[in-house]
């Protein structure tokens, strides 16, 4: 359903193409929409984890992740929380809830999303998100910070030897979170803001007066852009946690008509040689919002659409399965020449899914490749003798 971007479970059920589900997806019998919801509701989301790691291992084995390495052998992992469901009436045992002054209640679902990103790569590789849900046996709401703790513990269990640089927005730049990242051997590039990190910025200002801050500029004449940096290593994150020392980068991108300003802290030692790359790593964080959440919301995935809520886990299971479909699609985008050719021809993902669905429901195919070929060359024409690739 999510692979085909069917708009609802009912729509998917009505147009079910059992033959293609068998040949393309290897699914023998698909339950009807009501039965499917009943079956999925009690399923604990953690059973989906091996499917995420299985696709990830295939990407590793196929050397597809090599293009995603950053600053040598690191992977840049962007984390961010997002809300994908909110209601005053519909709720389940996993819902977060907020009681308003007038006694009414808003129920919601959030997740901590994670994706391997790279400044030069359009594709992102999502990992299994950590649901932000009411925890079993408690009445307390969960929060993004707790979810992040659970996430990094599972990340290390799944990938004990991979080297990650975690990149997040300025909400994450607090001492307990940085200590957690450190405890799991994770590097970081985290946003900071003058308004939220007052003592850090005061400290940098004092360092500037003492002549300890390095200024660096790089001119990109072709693009008409000046990259201006100032950085200082080994400063305290804030007054109350002076033992947490960070390296600080402030950056201005100056072009003809505008100036953009960013600042980050990192545990990686900043030098004139690496500051430009660290900046690009910090800025690649937006890909978790733009290339991941916004794609799920606006590119045909119906992320905020309610496929069914259930009373236990259904809503969470659907969100995880949608992310799994997104992972498979991103893998196709990186590894499958047919997928890329069809996408280029049609010009948008939205149109690609639409055409794919139309053919899927009406004609019998032996494989996804045959379906992509039909989309590329037209359905009536026979396939050319010379293949595009030999995979
Ligand atoms: Zn719920």
Helix (H, G, I), strand (E, B) or coil at 315: helix
Reported as a pLDDT band with limits 50, 70 and 90, residue 137 is low
More confident residue, 258 or 303: 258
Q: pLDDT digit string (tens) for 307-344?
A: 889 999 999 999 999 999 999 999 999 999 999 999 99
Ligand 1 midpoint to CA 72 (Å):
42
Ligand 1 midpoint to CA 313 (Å):
7
At residue 388, does pLDDT exceed 70? no
Cα separation, 220 vs 342, in Å, equals 35
Q: How many CB atoms lie within 10 A of CB 207?
A: 18
| Farthest CA pair distance, the chain | 75
pLDDT value of residue 153: 97
pLDDT value of residue 337: 95
Ligand 1 midpoint to CA 318 (Å):
11
Q: How many CB atoms lie within 10 A of CB 259?
A: 10
pLDDT value of residue 269: 98
Q: How many CB atoms lie within 10 A of CB 301?
A: 20
Q: pLDDT digit string (tens) for 55-101?
A: 999 999 999 999 999 999 999 999 999 999 999 999 999 999 999 99
Cα separation, 359 vs 366, in Å, equals 13
Ligand 1 midpoint to CA 317 (Å):
11
Q: What is the mean pLDDT of residues 370-374?
A: 95
Q: pLDDT digit string (tens) for 250-279?
A: 999 999 999 999 999 999 999 999 999 999
Reported as a pLDDT band with limits 50, 70 and 90, residue 300 is confident
- Could you tell me which of 219, 230, 305, 303 has the C-alpha nearest to residue 261? 230
Ligand 1 midpoint to CA 311 (Å):
7
Ligand 1 midpoint to CA 296 (Å):
19
Ligand 1 midpoint to CA 32 (Å):
22
pLDDT value of residue 389: 53
Residue 229 in contact with residue 216, Cβ under 8 Å? yes
Cα separation, 339 vs 127, in Å, equals 21
pLDDT value of residue 380: 62
Cα separation, 302 vs 353, in Å, equals 12
pLDDT value of residue 196: 93
Ligand 1 midpoint to CA 147 (Å):
17
pLDDT value of residue 230: 97
Ligand 1 midpoint to CA 344 (Å):
38
Which residue's structure tokens are 């893998």?
331
- The structure's pTM equals 0.92
The H or E element spanning position 244 is none
Ligand 1 midpoint to CA 154 (Å):
23
pLDDT value of residue 178: 97
At residue 384, does pLDDT exceed 80? no
Q: What is the mean pLDDT of residues 107-120?
A: 96
Cα separation, 45 vs 321, in Å, equals 9
At residue 385, does pLDDT exceed 60? no
Ligand 1 midpoint to CA 349 (Å):
29
Ligand 1 midpoint to CA 51 (Å):
23
Residues with CB under 5 Å of ion ligand 1 are 92, 94-95, 315
Helix (H, G, I), strand (E, B) or coil at 37: helix
Ligand 1 midpoint to CA 322 (Å):
16
Q: What are the residues whose beta carbons fall under 8 Å from the beta carbon of 182, sequence distance 6 or more?
A: 267
Give buried/exposed letters for 215-236 (b at 16+ CB in 10 A, else e): ebeeeeeeeeeebbbbbbbebb
Instruction: Count Cβ atoms within 10 A of the Cβ of residue 211 and give its class: 0-12 exposed, 13-18 middle, 19 or more buried.
Output: exposed
Query: How high does pLDDT run on average in the chain?
Result: 92
Q: What are the residues whose beta carbons fall under 8 Å from the beta carbon of 104, sequence distance 6 or more?
A: 88
Ligand 1 midpoint to CA 326 (Å):
22
Cα separation, 26 vs 190, in Å, equals 42
Ligand 1 midpoint to CA 190 (Å):
31
Ligand 1 midpoint to CA 85 (Å):
8
Q: What is the mean pLDDT of residues 279-308?
A: 89
Q: What are the residues whose beta carbons fall under 8 Å from the beta carbon of 245, sequence distance 6 or more?
A: 234, 235, 236, 237
Q: pLDDT digit string (tens) for 202-245?
A: 999 999 999 999 999 999 999 999 999 999 999 999 988 889 99
Residue 351 tokens read as 């149109």
Residue 68 in contact with residue 60, Cβ under 8 Å? no
Minimum mean pLDDT range among 16-20, 46-50, 233-237, 281-285: 16-20
Ligand 1 midpoint to CA 353 (Å):
28
Residue 341 tokens read as 């050719």
């Amino acid at each position: 359903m999510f692979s085909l971007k069917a708009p609802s479970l009912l729509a998917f059920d009505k147009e079910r193409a059992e033959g293609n589900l068998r040949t393309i997806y290897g699914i023998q019998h698909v339950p009807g929409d009501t039965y499917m919801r009943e079956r999925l509701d009690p399923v604990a989301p953690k059973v989906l984890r091996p499917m995420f790691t299985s696709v990830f291992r295939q990407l590793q084995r196929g050397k597809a992740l090599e293009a995603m390495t950053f600053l040598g052998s690191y992977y840049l992992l962007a984390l961010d929380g997002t809300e994908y469901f909110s209601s005053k009436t519909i709720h389940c045992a996993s819902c977060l809830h907020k009681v308003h002054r007038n006694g009414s209640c808003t129920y919601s679902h959030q997740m901590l999303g994670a994706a391997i990103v790279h400044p030069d790569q359009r594709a992102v590789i999502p990992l299994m998100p950590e649901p932000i849900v009411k925890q079993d046996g408690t009445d307390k709401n969960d929060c993004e910070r707790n979810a992040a703790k659970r996430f990094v513990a599972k990340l290390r269990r799944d990938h004990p030897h991979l080297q990650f640089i975690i990149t997040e927005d300025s909400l994450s730049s607090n001492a307990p979170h940085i200590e957690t990242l450190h405890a799991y051997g994770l590097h970081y590039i985290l946003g900071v803001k003058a308004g939220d990190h007052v003592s850090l910025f005061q400290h940098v200002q004092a360092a500037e007066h003492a002549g300890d801050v390095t200024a660096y500029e790089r001119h990109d004449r072709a693009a008409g852009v000046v990259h201006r940096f100032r950085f200082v290593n080994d400063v305290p994150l804030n007054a109350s946690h002076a033992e947490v020392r960070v390296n600080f980068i402030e950056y201005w991108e100056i072009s003809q008509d505008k100036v953009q300003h960013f600042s980050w802290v990192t545990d990686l030692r900043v030098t004139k040689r690496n500051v430009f790359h660290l900046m690009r790593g910090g800025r690649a964080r937006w890909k978790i919002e733009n290339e991941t959440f916004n794609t799920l919301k606006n590119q045909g995935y119906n992320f905020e659409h309610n496929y069914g809520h259930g009373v236990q886990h259904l809503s969470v299971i659907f969100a995880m399965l949608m992310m799994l479909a997104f992972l498979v699609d991103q893998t196709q985008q990186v590894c499958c020449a047919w997928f890329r050719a069809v996408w280029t021809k049609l010009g948008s993902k939205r149109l690609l899914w639409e055409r794919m669905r139309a053919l899927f429901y009406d004609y019998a195919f032996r494989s996804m490749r045959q379906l992509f070929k039909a989309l590329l060359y037209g359905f009536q024409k026979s396939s050319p003798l010379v293949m595009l690739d030999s995979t």
